[in-house]
A and B are shown apart, each in its own frame.
Chain A
Amino acid sequence: MLTNRRFYIIGFVVSLFFAGVVSFYASSAPDGLEKVAQDIGFIDTARDHTNADKALADYGVKGIDNERASVGVAGIIGVIGTAVVAGISFKLIARKSKKDHN
């Protein structure tokens, strides 16, 4: 049994490592849906993403030319951002639920 603190630190560090380091080695082949769309022929109906020119589009940081650093930093930003948004959301829900029970 890990202590609470140690469990969450390990979980967070593993996530940072995956998004910040391992992500560089991820396959860049089209994903399942993209491949099916190519093979069947409806890939051309896709439009460019509204945010395609924004700073973090396609998991790269605009302005960082080194590909390893670009995807790594984007991943780390995503992990921290998700932690903040999800952390706050679930905390609020849990607090609300405590109030409901009282």
Chain B
Amino acid sequence: MHIPDGFIDLQTSAVFAGLAAAGIATALKGARTQLDEKIAPLAGLTAVFIFAVQMLNFPVVAGTSGHLLGGALAAVLVGPWAATLALTVVLLMQGLLFADGGLTAIGLNIFNMGVLGVWAGYGIFLLLRKLLPKNKSSISLAAALGGLLSVPAAAVGFTIQYAMGATATFSTSAVLSAMVGTHVLIGIGEALITGLTVSAVLASRSDLVYGWKNNNQKLELRSAD
């Protein structure tokens, strides 16, 4: 999912660099209200874990692999604002040190994985958390399904960028169906890793999990009414 230099023209890349910068600025503001010294280390560990697991490409169909994006996972663990920042750190490390993701494409990649993937995953998570029974298994399941859908959402992000500024001339609808089809399959791996990781953290330190704490607080408020 890391876009190399050259796929998308410089004008479109610049537009998305601007959008990514706006997303990061908003996330910095939001994280300041949510991040305290107790949670900050978990945000750091989340970035580290996502970097590590992104190295583990798993096979999907013949000749294709995928890896964790981690947007939904990060959003459930540390909240959507810190999630965007964690993904930004990971993508910068990968682009600058490991030549993974083009330097002119850094805004495109941060937008797709660090903003779109985070918010699509977190949105689905919030919706399902509302619908499912209030327990830890529901949190893990909601996180997994958020993860599942965050991957095709990021793939749609690429397709939009392709439509706006591809250097090639193949039809956008062909790119859209191929991207979404492939990335729904990769999303299954994303769902498994996200669900397992969230349940492991819930089992060991549920007090640190943003998507669980935050839910309990809301329940307390309602019962006080």
- Residues on A facing B (Cβ under 8 Å): 1-2, 4, 7-8, 10-12, 14-16, 18-19, 22-23, 26-33, 35-37, 39-42, 45-52, 54, 56-59, 71, 74-75, 77-79, 81-83, 85-87, 89-91, 93-98, 100
Contact = CB atoms under 8 A, between A and B. Distances in A.
B102 to A, nearest CB: 6
A21 B208 CA distance: 28
A85 B47 CA distance: 10
Interface of B: 1-7, 28, 31-37, 39-41, 43-45, 47-49, 51-53, 55-60, 63-67, 82, 85-86, 89-90, 92-94, 96-100, 102-103, 155, 158, 166-168, 170, 174-175, 178-179, 182-183, 185-186, 204-205, 207-208
B99 A54 contact: yes
A31 B1 contact: yes
B41 A42 contact: no
Contacts of B99: 49-52, 54, 56-58
Nearest to A84: B44
B44 A26 contact: no
Contacts of A47: 4-6, 102
Highest count of chain A CB atoms <10 Å: which of B28, B32, B97, B158 = B97
Given A54-B99, A94-B39, A75 B55 contact: yes
A11, A52, A58, A81 interface centre (most CB from chain B within 10 Å): A11
Given A33-B1, A35-B182, A46-B6, 16 more contacts: A31-B57, A31-B65, A32-B155, A32-B179, A32-B182, A40-B174, A45-B6, A50-B5, A51-B99, A51-B103, A78-B52, A78-B55, A82-B48, A82-B89, A87-B41, A100-B32
